[in-house]
Amino acid sequence: MPLHAGDRLPAATFRTRTPEGVKTLTTADVFGGRKVVLFAVPAAFSPTCSQTHLPGYVAHHDAIKAGGVDEIACVSANDAWVLDAWAREHGAAGKVLMLSDGNLEFTRAAGMELDATIVGEGFRSQRYAAIVEDGVVTEIRVDDKPWLAEASSASSICRLQGQ
């Protein structure tokens, strides 16, 4: 069953690239006691993810943070190295915490899996964005079509914050 407002995020582990190497983080590490905007992408470096989705969060970083958000995080099935390269290429390093969910542990437990096998891309995450407070989803927007970043866009999150 997919995530809804009021749901607690599932316990899972993520991998992220730091200057010291790859680090493992848990759901509690990222979301516990904090307000986080989480957005999910099917594939780093894909056209929509690279031309619209991530750049929107970079451009709206300050406005989103001004709404009381402690962290902006992106989850994807890509590995930590790919996500790090993608963040650096788009000026997101230091602005968006990249969370690799390479085994889809989080995505499957959250009910947000996307079957992209028909286009040869295996299983991925649906495209969505959520506002999460202390591990509980307060708002969530899911794009009906994974090739569009509309409901899950940074501007959509800004509107939810009243901006």
Active site residues: 49
Length of the chain: 163
What are the distances in angstroms from CA 105 to CA 99, 140, 154?
A: 12, 19, 25
* Nearest CA among 113, 142, 147, 146 for reference residue 128: 142
Query: Which residues does residue 99 pair with via DSSP β-bridges, in sequence order?
Result: 75
Whether the CB-CB separation of 6 and 12 falls below 8 Å is answered with no
Q: What angle do CA 147, 148, 149 make, to 5 degrees?
A: 125
